A and B are shown apart, each in its own frame.
Chain A
Amino acid sequence: MIIKIQVRAWVSPRGTSGELRKYQMQGRGRVAGELERLIDGGTPNKSAVASQVPMPPPRNPRSAIHAKAPVTEEVGEEAVGMEEVSVAIDRRQPPWLNGVELLEDAKWNKHVLPTGCEGIDILLGGGLREGQLTEIVGPSSSGKTQVCLCSALGVADLRLGVVLFLDTCNSFSPHRIAHMVNSQSDTLAKEGKEGSLERIMSSILCHSVFDIFELLDALHQLECKLKHQVKSSGNRIRLLVIDSISSLITPILGGKNSQGRLMMITTGILLKKIANEYNLSVLVTNHMVGGEGGSLKPALGESWKNIPHVRLVLSRDQGSNVCNVSILKHTIMDVAHSDDTANLIRESGRSFGGGLRGFSPHPRQSPPAGARLPSIYCPPLSPHSPHLGSLGFPPPSPWASLRRRLPTSEWCST
């Protein structure tokens, strides 16, 4: 009995997948394959697994706790006995990690997922980090959804895993992704056009959520699923996109009771928990509201501000082809971080013009403090790249001509 539990506990998302990767890295593919076969339930005698393969203890104490769950279901009436066993496991595996273990965890389990958009990848030092919550903030039609679609495509295209897209604005556009795939001519040459499109599109899952309860429900379902999805590390969910989280939270926020705020924080904590424990990268979008003095600031207020690990601000000048991205907050990188959000945005607004010229496409270059690099180029620069720029951004806005047409007195009527 106890041996069985030990095996279960050791087949934890952290320990196993990390160890597997380590084996593969060292060129011992055969061993890893053997290990995988055994874990997949190939052997009837599970105690043999424990004796044959020197399994490392789980790196994360929480994953050990989770691994108990299926066993409890199986045994049912022996639940009381299970408590004792879990205490025994806890004694063997203390519920904390030391720094070395954490570093190992970060090294083997927290990968960086490319966003498929070079500028953003360089700015973030590689892309979206697993285990972290990244937020994209920007005014309407500044390219937030495009970054989300692009990142989803990036992860699916490189066969990294499955992307789960939670859509609140009916803005997930498979047509747009197909268009981006078709404009990548190099990958299409290798595989058949249809085949690669189907492969990419099949590893992007989309689910519509229209209120906060549905979101929480979906996240709980996802958590349950991830708990039991230990072995299939090849097709595991790597990226969770929520576009946009603010449209779900805005209707419940404010007013006299603080229940809305509570739900917002609950959602944030749940997202961070899922991201950390199951090595997911979470990407959410948020919109902007007018702050003091007419300047724009990210919505959802101060309490939300410290939930995301990374905050990116997108902006696009009226009638311009280039979208700009700047880092508002980053937990790891050395960014001149200012508490005065509005100030930072205004500042970046000033330096937009020079951004493109100052940009160096060297991939190893680490961005300077407070870096503001243009992430998206206009079509002529990169006609075949999956950059957002290949969208072909609009001609100058019609508002300009509207303004000219109307005498001043008429505009001020409202």
Chain B
Amino acid sequence: MSETSRFRSLEDGHGALKGAQTAWDMLSEEQMQKHITTGCEELDAILGGGIHCKEVTEVGGVPGIGKTQLGIQLAVNVQIPVECGGLGGKAVYIDTEGSFMVERAHQIAEGCISDLLDNTAHRLKDFPACPERLQPNSFLANIFYFRICSYTEQIATINYLEKFLEEQKDVKIIVVDSITFHFRQDFDDLALRTRVLGGMSLKLMRFAKKYSLAVVLLNQVTTKFVEGSFHLTLALGDTWSHACTNRIILYWNGNDRHAYIDKSPSLRSATTPFLITGKGIRNATSHCKRVRMM
């Protein structure tokens, strides 16, 4: 007890830096924080519970690996009501490539709802308001979709988001699909590109921290010539690779999709398989499904 009061006085003594928090407070806050599930329990396990709020996560991989699927899945899963163990938030989806398929989003929302009803039917009985909210259309209504057609628009939209987030406090995830697309077309001045992207990533970091939301950036792959051979890396270069907190790489291993944590300050590197099904992203093994049935 006296120990604690001593710590308090210590903190007060150093409270001059406005807005600074002790790691102890941050730790307890972090333990209270819920994560956004990806739908695949194994992927959640290596991510420490799912996509973390207050962090910027970059997801990269070859075309067709399921980046957009993961983006849509997260935009749907963030809306899982609090009663069912979700965040009950809303999603901002910034689409630069035009790959957001609303039919697919509807399908994933349906899949998510049917799984929720299977798993938490007993809990939902206590909350009569829930079934009305558990409709695919109400899920779609809570995804704010921005279609971006040039990099100028992209910069403008990110700048506008500040105002938007101020009004929509419920937004818990921002998905940018993809951060790369317009910056890889007609952008001659690479130094300028680095600067613009650096500024953009700092803005997204600020949103993540200030509004306690998750930012997911989808990125494409490119090739890099290193020591006589070509390597696949994520696009936008070395400087950009420092811009995000976590980096997840999706890749093919044989005919299976795998996810790999390439960079994270708090998670160990790990690999796990995942599946893309009609319902969305799910476990690759059937083990957990059996648990669910019970």
Q: Which residues of B contact A365 (CB under 8 A)?
A: none
Q: Is the CB of A206 within 8 A of B230?
A: no
Q: Is the CB of A174 within 8 A of B230?
A: no
Closest CB-CB distance, A251 to chain B, in whole Å?
4
Q: Is the CB of A221 within 8 A of B16?
A: yes
Q: Is the CB of A171 within 8 A of B265?
A: yes
Q: Which residues of B contact A368 (CB under 8 A)?
A: none
Taking a contact as CB atoms closer than 8 A, the residue among A170, A225, A406 that contacts B232 in the complex is A406
Within 8 A of B (CB), among A218-260: 218, 221-222, 224-225, 229, 232, 235, 237, 244, 246-248, 250-255
> Does any Cβ of B come within 8 Å of A16's Cβ?
no
**Chain A 178-195 interface 0/1 with B at a Cβ cutoff of 8 Å (1 = within):** 110000000000000001
Q: Which residues of B contact A403 (CB under 8 A)?
A: 230-232
Of all chain A residues, the one with the shortest Cβ separation from B184 is: A414
**Chain B 205-237 interface 0/1 with A at a Cβ cutoff of 8 Å (1 = within):** 110110000000000001101100011110101
Measured CA separation A195–B1 after assembly (Å): 10
Q: Is the CB of B10 within 8 A of A202?
A: yes
Q: Which residues of A contact B242 (CB under 8 A)?
A: 140, 169, 244, 246-247, 287
Taking a contact as CB atoms closer than 8 A, the residue among A146, A199, A255, A405 that contacts B265 in the complex is A146
Q: Is the CB of B271 within 8 A of A398?
A: yes
Of all chain A residues, the one with the shortest Cβ separation from B27 is: A174
Q: Is the CB of B202 within 8 A of A210?
A: yes
Binds B, one of A303-311, A328-336, A388-396: A388-396
> Does any Cβ of A come within 8 Å of B243's Cβ?
yes
Q: Is the CB of B245 within 8 A of A169?
A: yes
Q: Is the CB of B225 within 8 A of A210?
A: no
Q: Is the CB of A176 within 8 A of B265?
A: yes
Measured CA separation A411–B13 after assembly (Å): 57
Q: Which residues of A contact B133 (CB under 8 A)?
A: none
Number of interface residues, chain B, beta carbon within 8 A: 72
> Does any Cβ of B come within 8 Å of A208's Cβ?
yes
> Does any Cβ of B come within 8 Å of A314's Cβ?
no
Q: Is the CB of A168 within 8 A of B232?
A: no
Of all chain A residues, the one with the shortest Cβ separation from B260 is: A398
Q: Is the CB of B22 within 8 A of A411?
A: no
> Does any Cβ of B come within 8 Å of A408's Cβ?
yes
Given A164-B20, A205-B20, A394-B269, A211-B192 contact (CB < 8 Å): no
Given A218-B17, A254-B195, A398-B253, A206-B231 contact (CB < 8 Å): no
Q: Which residues of A contact B198 (CB under 8 A)?
A: 247, 250-251
Given A175-B30, A195-B3, A401-B253, A170-B208 contact (CB < 8 Å): yes
Binds A, one of B54-62, B95-103, B135-143: B54-62
Q: Is the CB of B24 within 8 A of A141?
A: no
> Does any Cβ of A come within 8 Å of B7's Cβ?
yes
Q: Which residues of A contact B253 (CB under 8 A)?
A: 398, 401
Q: Which residues of A contact B202 (CB under 8 A)?
A: 168, 210-211, 247-248, 251
Closest CB-CB distance, A83 to chain B, in whole Å?
28
Measured CA separation A195–B13 after assembly (Å): 20
> Does any Cβ of B come within 8 Å of A124's Cβ?
no
> Does any Cβ of B come within 8 Å of A198's Cβ?
yes
> Does any Cβ of B come within 8 Å of A28's Cβ?
no
Q: Which residues of B contact A197 (CB under 8 A)?
A: 24
**Chain B 70-113 interface 0/1 with A at a Cβ cutoff of 8 Å (1 = within):** 00000000000000000000000000000000000000000000
> Does any Cβ of B come within 8 Å of A203's Cβ?
yes
**Chain B 250-265 interface 0/1 with A at a Cβ cutoff of 8 Å (1 = within):** 0111000010111101
**Chain B 154-194 interface 0/1 with A at a Cβ cutoff of 8 Å (1 = within):** 00000000000000000000000000000010000001101
> Does any Cβ of B come within 8 Å of A294's Cβ?
yes
Measured CA separation A39–B281 after assembly (Å): 65
Q: Which residues of A contact B126 (CB under 8 A)?
A: none
Q: Is the CB of A224 within 8 A of B16?
A: yes
Q: Is the CB of A141 within 8 A of B247?
A: yes
Q: Is the CB of B14 within 8 A of A251?
A: no
Of all chain B residues, the one with the shortest Cβ separation from A401 is: B253
Q: Which residues of A contact B69 (CB under 8 A)?
A: none
> Does any Cβ of A come within 8 Å of B286's Cβ?
no
Closest CB-CB distance, B255 to chain A, in whole Å?
10
Closest CB-CB distance, B238 to chain A, in whole Å?
6
Closest CB-CB distance, A138 to chain B, in whole Å?
10
Q: Is the CB of B226 within 8 A of A294?
A: yes
> Does any Cβ of B come within 8 Å of A356's Cβ?
no
Q: Which residues of A contact B238 (CB under 8 A)?
A: 139-140, 287-290, 296
Closest CB-CB distance, A69 to chain B, in whole Å?
15
> Does any Cβ of B come within 8 Å of A149's Cβ?
yes
Q: Is the CB of A232 within 8 A of B245?
A: no
> Does any Cβ of A come within 8 Å of B21's Cβ?
yes
Measured CA separation A207–B54 after assembly (Å): 14
Given A208-B209, A254-B195, A401-B251, A222-B17 contact (CB < 8 Å): yes
Q: Is the CB of A414 within 8 A of B222?
A: yes
Q: Which residues of B contact A248 (CB under 8 A)?
A: 202
10 contacts between A and B (CB under 8 A): A140-B263, A173-B266, A198-B4, A205-B22, A208-B205, A224-B16, A251-B202, A394-B260, A402-B251, A405-B252
Known contacts A141-B247, A205-B17; can you find 15 more A-B pairs with CB under 8 A? Answer: A168-B202, A170-B54, A178-B27, A195-B3, A198-B4, A202-B7, A205-B14, A205-B22, A210-B205, A235-B13, A251-B196, A287-B239, A294-B225, A294-B226, A412-B230
Q: Which 5 A-B pairs have the closest CB atoms?
A: A394-B269, A225-B16, A173-B266, A201-B24, A140-B241
